[in-house]
């Protein structure tokens, strides 16, 4: 009977099937870098989150650069499926909502204090 002798097909590296191992490796390397990142397509909500984070950093007296990640493969490497998202030192601290300045400030302070 030939039903049980079929070879298993190789599994792909991601759910969409279009990511190459090189792209995934690059996304993982970027993910490991420390700093503050806003993940999102560049829509109004993502830009609003970025502005709130900039205001929070100014209020905290921190001169950290904010990276705005728009590449879906890099966003997926963080496990985020709902944007906008905020990443502090490689850890996702918020996703799916636009934070107010005070909320962003509290999250940044907490993550930097834990480090």
What does the alpha-carbon distance between residue 33 and residue 43 come to, in Å, rounded to a whole number? Answer: 24
**Catalytic site residue 46?**
yes
What does the alpha-carbon distance between residue 40 and residue 7 come to, in Å, rounded to a whole number? Answer: 39
Answer whether the bond into residue 62 is a cis peptide, omega within 30°.
no
CA neighbours closer than 13 Å in the CB half-sphere of residue 110: 11
Identify the active-site residue in 14, 15, 16, 46.
46
Which CATH number is 35-114 given?
Answer: 3.40.30.10
pLDDT tens for the chain, 115 residues: list them. Answer: 556 665 555 444 555 666 677 776 766 666 566 789 999 998 999 999 999 999 999 999 988 889 999 998 889 888 998 999 999 988 999 999 999 999 999 999 998 777 6
Identify the active-site residue in 14, 15, 19, 43.
43
**Catalytic site residue 43?**
yes
- pTM comes to 0.72
């Amino acid at each position: 009977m030939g039903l049980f002798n079929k070879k298993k097909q190789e599994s792909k590296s991601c759910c969409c099937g279009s990511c190459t191992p090189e792209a995934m490796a690059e996304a993982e390397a970027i993910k490991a870098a420390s700093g503050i990142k806003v993940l999102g397509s560049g829509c109004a909500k993502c830009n609003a989150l970025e502005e709130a984070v900039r205001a929070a950093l100014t209020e905290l007296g921190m001169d950290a650069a904010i990276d705005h990640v728009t590449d879906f493969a890099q966003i997926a490497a963080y496990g985020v499926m709902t944007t906008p998202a905020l990443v502090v030192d490689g850890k996702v601290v918020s996703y799916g909502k636009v934070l107010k300045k005070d909320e962003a400030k509290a999250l940044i302070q907490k993550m930097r204090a834990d480090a």
